[in-house]
Structures are given as structure tokens and as C-alpha cells.
């Protein structure tokens, strides 16, 4: 009886799955595509033409690039965005010495407690502190940013599809909707509601095309790189995208490097298992029909 009930239950689940698949396939082939500005004008994120040094199975960190990206974050992005999951001591992975890390931490003000009064105050950071938020709370953050709370950037490249490319495209993608990709006129005619409202900025790489963040990188030379690299908008965007990839997955390169010996071991184990199987069954002859 139990076997019969189990078989019936399996048939019911299989039938529901087939019906769902059928309805989905029917809707896919018969329904008209959704006509909306987000679907027609939202662009797929892309990286710089030269790519990133950590792309591919043999990629590596470009330490100079990560240091430049950190400087872009510090001098531009940190005015609105936090790095709550990154400690100052983690900067040692970017090639900074222990003394440099301590000096860099001390250049930031972090929340503290006055030992005499017990009141909240600020103090110079130490290497064990985490990067502080630019705002005391979300209410203050929203009040300073047109009611939009700037997200924490620690894991941003893992929180977005093609995260590194997304950051790069977003930073370089601000444009005038009226002249956008030769489709700006059609955008304004068919979707007049997407005329960028006051206080928002048009960016085709953002999901609904308009976002509250003003273009953070507005001119070449906005940041002066210590290594003399020319700080174009594209270069600054590329560097900070690489830096945020590191903050989101600092062990990315170690993981890739670990993968190769694991693959070699698995290949060796497979070959060894094959020969072991042949050795064990070598004395067994198949029966003749």
C-alpha cells in the first residue's frame, strides 16, 4: 500500500512539473515581449577593453592597480560609501608595510568612547579597526543623499551580476538621456516618464535607468596617483572596480591557484583508479554467450 501511495505521489509531482513546464513554454512563445524602458534601454555591463589582470584561470592581482583603486575609494567613494567588512590591517595584502598600514589607519577617524565622560566621540583609527561609515546611521545617510541610503561597498562586486564590470560600467556610464545611444529621442517619446527627474541621474547600466548617486568621477586628474599613472575617468573607474573586487573576495587568486593542483590530483586519481580497476578485474573473463 505504501509503495502504491509513493508511486501516486511521484506521478502527481511529475504531472505538476510537466504542466508548469508546458504553461511556461506556451507563455514564452505566445506572449508579447514586455515593452518597458528597463527592458529596452538597460545595457549589459562590460569591462574595459584591456580587461582586468585577475580575469581568467591564471589571473593575478595587479598590486599597483589595487593601491590606485584604494586611493580612488578613499578620496572619492568614502564620502558616501562604507567598507564595513574590511579592516585597515587587510591593507597589508596590497603591499603596504606594517608602518604604512598603521599610519593609514591613523589618518581615519573612527567611532570611540570618551574614557572620562563615556560619551560617543571619534579617535584616530588603529590597524585592527574596520573602515568607518561616513554617516552615524541610515537616517542621516538618507537625509544627505536624496532619501537614498548609499550601499556598503565591501561585497558590491559579488552582490551584482558581473560585479566588477558593473562597477566599471556604472562609473563610466552617466550620460544625457536625450542623446543616449541614438535612442534617446525614442526613449523620451515612448517613455516620457523616464525623463530624468530632478535629483536623479540617467545611467543605462542601472536597473531602472535613473539613480540618486551623482557622477562621482567627473574629470581627469580628480585623483593624483602615487605611481604617476594618468588618472582618466576610465582609469579611475577600472582601478576602483579592481579594488572592490579585492574587498569582496580577497582570496580570489589563492583560490584559483589552489584549483590547479586539485585538478592535477583529480586527473592523477582518475588514471590511478582506471589502472587499479583493470588490475583487479584482469583475471575475470567474460562469459561466452
Domain that holds residue 188: 37-86+131-250
φ/ψ of 108, rounded to 5, equals: -105, 150
Within-domain flag for 256: no
53 compared with 197, residue with greater pLDDT: 53
Q: How far apart are CA 169 and CA 237, in angstroms?
A: 8
Within-domain flag for 125: no
Q: How confident is the model at residue 120 (pLDDT cuts 50, 70, 90)?
A: confident
Q: How far apart are CA 84 and CA 129, in angstroms?
A: 10
Within-domain flag for 21: no
Residue 62: HSE in the Cβ half-sphere, 13 Å Cα cutoff:
16
* Residue 247: pLDDT over 90: yes
Whether the Cβ atoms of residue 112 and residue 157 lie closer than 8 Å to each other: no
Cell numbers placing 221: 586628474
* Residue 249: pLDDT over 80: yes
Spell 257-267 as b/e; 16+ CB within 10 A means b: eeeeeeeeeee
Within-domain flag for 124: no
* Residue 251: pLDDT over 70: yes
User: Residue 139, exposed/middle/buried by CB under 10 A (0-12, 13-18, 19+)?
Assistant: exposed
Q: What is the pLDDT of residue 289?
A: 56
Tell me the pLDDT tens digit for each residue of 195-236. Answer: 677 888 988 899 888 888 999 999 999 999 999 999 999 999
Domain count, the chain: 1
Distances (CA, A) of 34 to 24, 38, 40: 15, 10, 9
Q: What is the pLDDT of residue 194?
A: 59
Q: What is the pLDDT of residue 4?
A: 80
User: What is the mean predicted confidence (pLDDT) over 281-289?
Assistant: 70
CA dihedral 245→250→253→258, nearest 10 degrees, is: -140
55 compared with 28, residue with greater pLDDT: 55
Residue 202: name the closest of 184, 222, 217 by CA.
Answer: 184
Determine which of 7-11, 93-97, 186-190, 237-241 has the lowest per-residue pLDDT on average: 186-190
Tell me the pLDDT tens digit for each residue of 150-196. Answer: 999 999 999 999 999 999 999 999 988 776 654 555 555 666 655 67
Within-domain flag for 230: yes
- The domain that holds 214 is classified in CATH as 1.10.760.10
* Residue 237: pLDDT over 90: yes
Percent over 70 (pLDDT), the chain: 87
Within-domain flag for 186: yes
Q: How far apart are CA 127 and CA 68, in angstroms?
A: 20
Q: How confident is the model at residue 3 (pLDDT cuts 50, 70, 90)?
A: confident
Within-domain flag for 43: yes
Within-domain flag for 279: no
Q: What is the pLDDT of residue 286?
A: 67
Distances (CA, A) of 275 to 262, 263, 267: 20, 19, 13
User: What is the mean predicted confidence (pLDDT) over 23-48?
Assistant: 68
- 3-state helix vs strand vs coil in the chain, percent to 5: 50, 5, 45
Whether the Cβ atoms of residue 57 and residue 259 lie closer than 8 Å to each other: yes
Q: How far apart are CA 70 and CA 93, in angstroms?
A: 12
Cell numbers placing 276: 587499479
Q: How far apart are CA 269 and CA 47, in angstroms?
A: 38
User: What is the mean predicted confidence (pLDDT) over 81-98?
Assistant: 96
DSSP line for 145-210: TTT-PPPP-TTHHHHSTTHHHHHHHHHH----GGGGGGTHHHHHHH-GGGSPPTT-EE-TTSTTSE
Determine which of 109-118, 126-135, 158-167, 240-249 has the lowest per-residue pLDDT on average: 109-118
Amino acid at each position: 500500500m505504501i509503495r502504491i501511495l509513493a508511486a501516486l505521489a511521484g506521478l502527481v509531482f511529475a504531472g505538476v512539473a510537466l504542466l508548469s513546464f508546458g504553461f511556461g513554454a506556451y507563455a514564452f512563445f505566445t506572449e508579447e515581449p514586455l515593452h518597458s524602458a528597463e527592458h529596452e534601454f538597460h545595457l549589459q555591463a562590460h569591462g574595459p577593453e584591456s580587461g582586468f589582470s585577475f580575469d581568467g584561470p591564471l589571473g593575478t592581482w595587479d598590486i599597483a592597480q589595487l593601491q590606485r583603486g584604494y586611493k580612488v575609494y578613499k578620496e572619492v567613494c568614502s564620502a558616501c560609501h562604507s567598507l564595513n567588512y574590511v579592516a585597515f590591517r587587510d591593507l597589508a595584502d596590497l603591499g603596504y608595510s606594517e608602518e604604512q598600514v598603521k599610519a593609514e589607519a591613523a589618518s581615519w577617524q573612527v567611532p570611540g568612547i570618551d574614557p572620562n565622560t563615556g560619551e560617543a566621540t571619534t579617535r584616530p583609527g588603529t590597524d585592527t579597526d574596520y573602515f568607518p561609515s561616513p554617516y552615524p546611521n541610515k537616517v542621516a545617510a538618507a537625509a544627505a543623499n536624496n532619501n537614498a541610503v548609499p550601499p556598503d561597498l565591501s561585497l558590491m562586486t559579488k552582490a551584482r551580476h558581473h560585479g566588477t564590470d558593473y562597477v566599471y560600467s556604472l562609473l563610466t556610464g552617466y550620460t544625457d538621456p536625450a542623446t543616449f545611444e541614438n535612442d534617446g529621442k525614442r526613449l523620451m517619446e515612448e517613455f516620457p516618464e523616464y525623463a530624468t527627474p530632478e535629483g536623479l541621474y540617467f545611467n543605462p547600466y542601472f536597473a531602472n535607468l535613473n539613480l540618486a548617486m551623482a557622477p562621482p568621477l567627473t574629470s581627469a586628474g580628480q585623483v593624483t596617483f602615487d605611481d604617476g599613472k594618468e588618472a582618466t575617468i576610465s582609469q579611475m573607474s577600472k582601478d576602483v572596480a579592481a579594488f572592490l573586487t579585492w574587498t569582496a573576495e580577497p582570496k580570489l587568486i589563492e583560490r584559483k591557484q589552489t584549483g590547479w593542483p586539485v585538478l592535477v590530483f583529480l586527473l592523477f586519481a582518475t588514471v590511478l583508479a582506471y589502472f587499479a580497476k583493470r588490475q583487479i578485474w584482469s583475471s575475470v573473463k567474460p562469459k561466452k554467450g
